[in-house]
Structure 1
Amino acid sequence: MKKLLSQGLTFVSILICNDAFAGFSEHEWTFAPHEKVVIQKNEEFRQGVEYGCKNLNPAATFRLTYTDPRGLEDLKIISENPSQVTHNKNKKVFIINNVESLDIGFPWIGRPYTFENITDKKIVGTNCDTGLYK
């Protein structure tokens, strides 16, 4: 019973953090060209969320913007090669360039985050997973 309750709370908190069902989901990512997903701050749960996808087709470029730099210490962006991720602190934006896989953790602090497919193509991710983060 505890495990079922824990799984239910995890699922609900992930849905609350994500403003739409497009983009990230538990097992697949689907982003239309230039589609944005906003990862909201939820005062009630105070929990981060993590998304990972091992296969992005075609290779994708994403823009990640933020408003509060306090979350940067715990923000996690893992791609095949660290040089694929650039950060402009003045504009509060990351560009994640030409990735075929991506793991990204949004901490609770520092939200909202806006994650946008800036590729001119529909991106489909398979072999994906979702979970709680810091």
Structure 2
Amino acid sequence: MRRRVKRIPYKSEELEAQINGEIMSITELKKDLDATREFKSELTRDIEENKKRLSSVIELQSELSNKLQISSTAKSRAEARLEKAVTARADMVREIEELRRQKDVLQRRIEFCKEKDAIGMASRLGDLTCSYKEFTI
């Protein structure tokens, strides 16, 4: 029986050592679990923050896209108005040139008519001066 008595305390020390080892293992695992939970919590906060940022960026992108579309439409309208104005200006320039040409023609006609009238008047005056009668006493 002596052997049994010696073996029992030896096994109890061994079991105690194993229990202590398991307790230390469990303590380390709890620390690891707490650290992992904290890491997970930080990641969750980071993910939520990044979701909010992404949402803001998407909203801003949508706003900018709308503004770009409005600007593009306004630009197209302005270009169309500019094209009409350029066409109208070209038409006006052509019309002005035509009116100037007509003015020159009319001025030449007026000069011609004035000269003709002057010649006519001179010939009539010449007829009057040439056709005088002389009276004697």
Compute the TM-score of the two structures, normalised by the length of structure 2.
0.15
> Which of the two has greater strand per residue?
1
Q: Which has the larger radius of gyration?
A: 2
> Which of the two has greater helix per residue?
2
